[in-house]
Structure formats: structure tokens, C-alpha cells
Chain A
Amino acid sequence: MTEKQPYKVFGQPEFESSTLVVGWSEDAAKLGSKVTDYLNRELGGQEFAEIEPDDFFPLGGVSVENDIAQFPEGKFYHCPGKDLVLFRSHPPRSDWYRFLNSVLDVAEYYCHVKEIYTVGGMVYLGTHTFPRELMALSNSPEMTAVLSQYDLAREIDYESPPGQRPTLNSFLLWAAQRRQLAAASLWVPIPFYLVGAEDPQAWGKVLEFLDERLDLGIDLDAIDEEAARQDKRITILRYNSPEIDSYINKLESGQGLTQDESESLVKAVEEFLRRQY
């Protein structure tokens, strides 16, 4: 008896070779989903395959976020005229290895993917007034050579501490490595008080790299404008709230915050930005 295939391919995009960009929909500052959504919109992405959710998610109902019922999805898009495949997905809740291999099966067998980029945000204890940095990890010397041509932070030494599991992006890089598929994960440190909100500067940083690396020719003006608008909103918040201003001032001058101060800052920024959107 053959095992049920956990993915469905319903389009036939033709690729000689392509690049896969992976974004998860539960990510710091919505980085993964915003990047893939922006690329989809700018490049006219068309859905052509999906991972079926029943093997990887509990499906005991739905969660509600911002008033709207959510449903786990893992969808592939191709962008006409570009050798680019996008995969936007909720992170699976179980059977991760099979899920990631399903992603790689579609990428390898249907799209002839030669290069993979994952996108992720990480928590940063600094402020939004510092420029965002793009960090990259690779799964092979070949990929490291590719990344060395760009202005990226690459000298990263890290071991996940006891009790903290590796990220899904690391798992995907490893699974790709076993297939000799070159992959890199792109990371942007997100100021901690924007992790639960949005960070257009971070989105822009990733998109800028992908645009350059993959020669996409996308217009990033809308992202720049969004980043400027958000900076302005936070400036208004600082102006209206001396307490919040003092916390950000402390961070800017390299001082830490107490836990209560950090929590107040997070709550105030998230609530203020939510009201503004």
C-alpha cells in the first residue's frame, strides 16, 4: 500500500531551474508572510500547489486572530516570467520532517529548485531607530560563496541552549542539505517591541536582498513609505507619552530596561500601532 501524498499539485509551471523563498505565517513582526505576500503581489504570483493540512495540524476547530477565523495553509506560488517559487505556510504542528520533505519534493521534482531562502525574524533588544541588519546562514560551502557577494552578516556562531529547540528554518536547511540542495536562512533582528506588531523596515531589508540576488526588478517604494509611516507613528507615541519616550531613550543610550518597563513598552507600542492600522 502506498502512503498518501501530503501535497497536491494543480498547476504546471515550467522551470529549468528556480529559486524557492519560504516564509512562515507565524513569524516575528509578520516578516515571513509579509515578504512572500509582497513578492506575490508585485510579481503576480499564482498558486499551483499546496500541502494538505490534515497530516500536520490538529484541525479540531479554528483559531481566531484579529476577529478573523484562521486556517492552516501551505501554498506554493509561481511568478510568471521569473524563475521564482514562493512557499507561504503556517508552521506545521506535528510530523515536521515529513512536512519539510514534502516542501522539498515539490521544490525539487516540480520546480527544479537549485537555491532555497527561508525568511525569519529574531528578537532584538535594541530600538527601531537603529538600521536593520540582514543576517544569513547557509547549509553548504557553495551557498556561503554565493552569500559572500552581498552585504550580509554571516559570521554567526550559535548553539541553541538546552531546552530551546532549533527553528523550523534550521530544520529545513538541514533537510535540504541531505538532498544536496543549497539553502540559506535570512534573519532580521526585530526590536522586541515590534515583534508582535509589524516591522516594515525588516521586510524591506529582506526584499532588497532578494531583489538584488534574484534580479526581480520589484518596486520597493511602498515598503519604504510604510516604514516611514511607522517611524512617524512611533514618534507620535513618544511625543504623547514621556514614559514610553524615556524607555526608548534608555535603549538608544545602551541601557537595559526592567521587565516591567519592557512589558509596558511592548504593550503601549502594540496597542498604539493596532489602533493606527
Chain B
Amino acid sequence: MSVRIYRKPEVHSPVLIACWPGIGNIGVIAVDTLRGTVKAEEFGEIEPWEFFYPSKVVIRNGVLKDLVFPASKFYYAKTDETDLIFFIGEEQPTEAGRTYAEGEKAYRMANLVLDVAIEYGCRRVYTSGAAVAPIHHTTRPKVWVVPNSENLVSELKTYRNTVLMSDIEGRRGQGSITGLNGLLLGVAKKRGLEAVCVMGEIPIYLQGFPFPYPQASRSVLEVMTSALHIETEMEGIDEMVAKSETEINRLYEHFPSEMREQLDRLKYVAHDEPAEPGPITEEDKQKILDDIDKFFKKEPRED
């Protein structure tokens, strides 16, 4: 098992932006959009066969021609301000029956990604995922930012439309980030790299749905491009957002009216600010969340 580098990228102190699929594909859509914007070129991959089960077989005339595995590829790009290395995994290397990477395979993959980043002089890593939050789908998703070092906190506080864990009501700075988008932060910390996970908010009632949530990807993209001083066109992602909004609104109409009324109250939940008397009480909010949980039989989580 190894990394294959097809050609050596000419980069100077690049920033690594790494991502694997998760809830709403929020991180992957944001990172892949950014990759397209800066026209990043592929330069290597992690050989997949020891990590993944094949995703496709090609047989021609009764002969097996190809077996396709989920890709885990590296790209690079140079921008005016920063050189970038991207890593995008099509799947997380999971153990049987699990949704997210865990254990030895996950740890090995995280280290392989960082091996490449370190080889080319990287000192900063971004990962991205979803933050399941009690918000309504018509509100602009905020971005939760989690650094792997105290030294990064003051910088992160300057990012617009972001919150730290301690800004989230009731969390007292605590939480967890499941899967490789989180694990990479930890492994980066172990190897002396600073890293930040940027997570776009997805409404709690949409977390289990098998479609993307580009609204949150857009918020993530805004934060990343601002942090990296990159100008990006938003037209492509705006089209995805418009399409997603239409689909969600259509779905929303099918919710029972009583439930819709409850969910509409999430428009007034300011979960990232200290509790203040408002149109919705803590008790109301809990009831909404309990009802949603019962309806979808899901637990809130981040990825």
C-alpha cells in the first residue's frame, strides 16, 4: 500500500485542503468547487485496494477488463497568494457496517495524506464537513470552525459567519468530529501541523437525507476562499443551491403540517448566541428536536 506520485508539483509552503464525503456532502462539494476554480491538476493518488471494496467491475466479452475502486487523489494549484494541495477521497475507508472511517485503516490513510503534504513543505491543513444544527433550511448556514491548536483561535475569530464550539449554546466548547475529516486534525496535531476543520451547518431534519446540501457548502467555500485570499466565482455552486432549495421545498411540503409548524419555529432559533428571551424558549427548542428525532429516528452529530 502506497502513494503514487505521477509528477512532482512545484509548490512552495502549500496549504493542504483535504476532504472525504460526509453528511450532505458539504465538505466535498465545497472543496471540489474550489479545486475546479483554481484549476488544480492531479498529481498523485493513494492506491486504493487495501482500503476499499471495489465500486465497479468492467467485463467485456466474458473477460474481466477492469475493477474500479473509490479514488483518493491529490491535486495541486498555484494561486497569487498561496500554493494549494488538494486531497479528495471518494469514500472513507470504513470497517464493516460503519459509515465513517475508524481504527487502523483510517489512521493509516490520514498519515499517508499528511506524508505527501509534509513532503512538499505544507504547514497548514484544512478539512471540511457538516455540522448538524437546529436551524431552518431557509436560514444562511453558519460555519463551525475547530482548530487543532490554541494558537489558531484568534485568527479563526476574524473569519466571517463562523462560530467556535464555545459559541454554540449549551456546548461549552465541547464536541466531536466523526470520521477522517476530524481524525486528520488530530493526526496533523500529532505531526506538528496546524489544522482547521470548517463545517457547514445542515438542518437537523435534513441530516439523514441522501442528497447534498450545497447551501452549507457555499458558506464553507466563502470561509475558505476568504481565509486563503482566493477570489472565486459562485455561479456554479449557486445553481446547485437553487436546485437544492427547490427539491427541499418540494419535500418540505410533504411533511405533516403539524411538523412543518414545529420546524418553522427553527427560523427563530439562535443556537450560537447566549439564550435570550425570544419567540422560542429552550423548552420549545428541545421539544422540536425531540419530535424531529422521533420522526427521523436520528441522533444529532457532526461529521
Q: A residues bordering B, Cβ < 8 Å?
A: 53-55, 58-73
Are A60 and B185 in contact, with the CB atoms below 8 A?
no
Shortest distance from the beta carbon of A77 to any chain B beta carbon, whole Å: 15
Q: B residues bordering A, Cβ < 8 Å?
A: 98, 100-104, 106-108, 146-150, 153, 164-166, 173-183, 185-187, 189-190, 195, 197, 303
Q: How far is the CA of A73 from the CA of B149 in the complex (A)?
A: 15
Q: Which residues of A contact B104 (CB under 8 A)?
A: 54-55, 59
Are B102 and A67 in contact, with the CB atoms below 8 A?
no
Q: Which residues of B contact A63 (CB under 8 A)?
A: 174-176
- Chain B residue nearest to A72 in the complex (CB): B186
Are B100 and A70 in contact, with the CB atoms below 8 A?
no
A sample of 7 inter-chain contacts (CB < 8 A) reads A54-B103, A59-B106, A60-B98, A61-B102, A61-B177, A61-B179, A65-B174
Q: How far is the CA of A67 from the CA of B147 in the complex (A)?
A: 7
Q: How far is the CA of A168 from the CA of B224 in the complex (A)?
A: 43
Q: How far is the CA of A65 from the CA of B165 in the complex (A)?
A: 9
Further 14 A-B residue pairs, CB within 8 A, beyond A61-B182, A69-B148 = A59-B102, A59-B106, A59-B107, A59-B183, A60-B178, A61-B177, A61-B178, A61-B183, A62-B148, A66-B174, A67-B146, A67-B166, A68-B147, A69-B177
Q: Which residues of A contact B166 (CB under 8 A)?
A: 66-67
Are A64 and B175 in contact, with the CB atoms below 8 A?
yes
Are A59 and B103 in contact, with the CB atoms below 8 A?
yes
Shortest distance from the beta carbon of B119 to any chain A beta carbon, whole Å: 19
Q: Contact partner of A62 among B101, B164, B185, CB < 8 A?
A: B185
Q: Which residues of A contact B148 (CB under 8 A)?
A: 62, 68-69, 71
Q: Which residues of B contact A59 (CB under 8 A)?
A: 102-104, 106-107, 183, 186
Q: How far is the CA of A271 from the CA of B117 in the complex (A)?
A: 40
Q: Which residues of B contact A70 (CB under 8 A)?
A: 186
Are B153 and A61 in contact, with the CB atoms below 8 A?
no
Q: How far is the CA of A65 from the CA of B303 in the complex (A)?
A: 16
> 3 closest A-B pairs (Cβ-Cβ)?
A71-B186, A61-B182, A60-B102
Are B176 and A64 in contact, with the CB atoms below 8 A?
yes
Q: Which residues of B contact A67 (CB under 8 A)?
A: 146-147, 153, 164-166, 173
Q: How far is the CA of A63 from the CA of B171 in the complex (A)?
A: 12
Are B107 and A53 in contact, with the CB atoms below 8 A?
yes
Are B173 and A69 in contact, with the CB atoms below 8 A?
no
Q: Which of A65, A68, A70 has the most CB of B within 10 A?
A: A68
- Chain A residue nearest to B167 in the complex (CB): A67
Shortest distance from the beta carbon of A37 to any chain B beta carbon, whole Å: 13
Q: Contact partner of B102 among A53, A58, A66, A68, CB < 8 A?
A: A58
Are A62 and B174 in contact, with the CB atoms below 8 A?
no
Shortest distance from the beta carbon of A217 to any chain B beta carbon, whole Å: 30
Q: How far is the CA of A63 from the CA of B176 in the complex (A)?
A: 4
Q: Which residues of B contact A73 (CB under 8 A)?
A: 190
Q: Which residues of A contact B150 (CB under 8 A)?
A: 68
Are B146 and A60 in contact, with the CB atoms below 8 A?
no
Q: Which residues of A contact B175 (CB under 8 A)?
A: 63-64
Are A69 and B174 in contact, with the CB atoms below 8 A?
no
Q: How far is the CA of A65 from the CA of B173 in the complex (A)?
A: 6
